[in-house]
Amino acid sequence: MNLETTLILVLGLALLIGGAEFLVRGASRIAVAFGISPLVVGLTVVAFGTSSPEFAVSVMASFKGEADLAMGNVVGSNIFNVLVILGLAAVIVPLTVAQQLIRFDVPVMIGVSIATLLLGLDGSIGHLDGMLLFSGAVFYTVFLIRQSRREGNPEVKEEYEVHVNRAAGRRKLLTDIGMVILGLVALVWGSKFLVTGAVTIAKSFGIPELVIGLTIVSAGTSLPEVAASITAALKGERDIAVGNVVGSNIFNLMSVLGLGALVSPHGIPVSPAALHFDLPVMVAIAVACLPIFLFGRISRVNGVFFLAYYALYLVYLYFMATHHPAFALYQKILGYGVLPITVLVLLAMVVKALAARKQGRITA
């Protein structure tokens, strides 16, 4: 790694952190000014804004014919968002999960993940598939905003009055809009710098394109979500922290993949490797969120397990990419050991959570 590459990586990281701070602060104030709840801000404004790097990378990769990079970026980002971002945020500050997420948004994330897998069974996400996905993003966003405004959220408006209108000089709406724009610009450029440096390093070691998309690129373009979610959690805006991850995963599939397929001349091809392993893993992780979220919180223990499962996923990709002699044994350990135990634990969590809700120990 030379000095120039190191500087690019550092600059990219600095822009990501700064951009996330501006985006969360500006978007939150704009939302509460219009009576929109912080949760919906995380699911829409922040989620879409922090997904913009994924969109830029996937569209660019599609035009260049790098299909594995385009698909790997989206799928890898969704896996990274849940296992790493929620994992890190929960380890730092245990997170609360809003009931709307459990009742509506997580089922939407699961449904869209399954739909993406089904749409890719023919080997590509074509123009019609892209239109369906992107139309879903439009309806989803409109529904969330209308629902939030219909509820009124008087406590949100009161929060705006206390924290914004009493500030010296009365913060103006244009200032908050400017903060959002500045934050988005910083996020996009920061991701570009960081991904450029990371991909240069990865290619110098001969790492396959699909693995680059699933790891280096997806992690780099997901850093805005890392910064935004952790910043929101530390500020006590835990609805934004969790909502940002769920919303980003939904937007990645419906907006990034959908619009990417629409603008790409031949759609986005889906490689057999992604279809047989990475897409099913993405679906499984989305489904696994529901049993954990049913408890109404994501504990530090949950966060540690999320991070541990991402480590297992990275080891799998490494063994696969390097044709490691232990790959076959590792597949058996995951298939006959880790997977069955995980399914049993999740089923036990569902039973325990439903029993606790029935007894009134968890508010429904």
Percent of the chain with pLDDT over 70: 77
Count how many residues are written for the chain.
364
Place 261 in a pLDDT band, splitting at 50, 70 and 90.
Answer: confident
pLDDT in tens, 167-207: 433 456 788 888 888 887 887 787 677 667 766 766 777 77
- Rounded to the nearest 5°, which phi and psi values hold at 297? -155, 160
Place 121 in a pLDDT band, splitting at 50, 70 and 90.
Answer: very high
Place 283 in a pLDDT band, splitting at 50, 70 and 90.
Answer: very high
Rounded mean pLDDT, 91-96: 88
Beta strands 124-125 and 297-298 are unpaired
Number of C-beta neighbours around residue 196 at 10 A: 15
pLDDT of residue 72: 85
The three-state secondary structure class of 268 is strand
Place 333 in a pLDDT band, splitting at 50, 70 and 90.
Answer: very high
CA neighbor of 244 nearest in space, from 97, 67, 69, 36? 97
In this model, does residue 22 exceed pLDDT 90? no
The pLDDT mean for the chain works out to 80
Q: Report CA-CA distances (Å) from 240 to 41, 163, 249, 260, 306.
A: 7, 17, 14, 26, 19
Rounded mean pLDDT, 63-78: 79
CB contact set of 328 (below 8 Å; sequence gap of 6+): none
Rounded mean pLDDT, 37-42: 65
pLDDT of residue 287: 95
CA neighbor of 82 nearest in space, from 268, 250, 330? 250
Q: How far apart are CA 228 and CA 119, in angstroms?
A: 31
Q: How far apart are CA 189 and CA 202, in angstroms?
A: 20
Q: How far apart are CA 241 and CA 232, in angstroms?
A: 5
Q: How far apart are CA 352 and CA 248, in angstroms?
A: 29
Place 64 in a pLDDT band, splitting at 50, 70 and 90.
Answer: low
pLDDT of residue 167: 46
pLDDT of residue 163: 43
* pTM recorded for the entire structure: 0.80
Place 35 in a pLDDT band, splitting at 50, 70 and 90.
Answer: low
Task: Specify whether the CB–CB gap between 206 and 49 falls below 8 A.
Answer: no
Rounded mean pLDDT, 222-236: 76
Place 307 in a pLDDT band, splitting at 50, 70 and 90.
Answer: very high
Q: Which residues pair with 125 in a beta bridge?
A: 268
Domains of the chain, earliest start first: 3-324 (1.20.1420.30)
Rounded mean pLDDT, 288-315: 92
In this model, does residue 91 exceed pLDDT 80? yes
Query: DSSP state, 327?
Result: H
Scanning the structure block, which residue is given the tokens 């985006």?
23
What does the DSSP assignment read for 287-305? HHHHHHHTTSEE-HHHHHH
pLDDT in tens, 136-167: 988 888 887 777 666 554 444 444 444 444 44
CA neighbor of 67 nearest in space, from 274, 307, 354? 274
Angle, in degrees to the nearest 10, between helices 218-234 and 52-63: 170
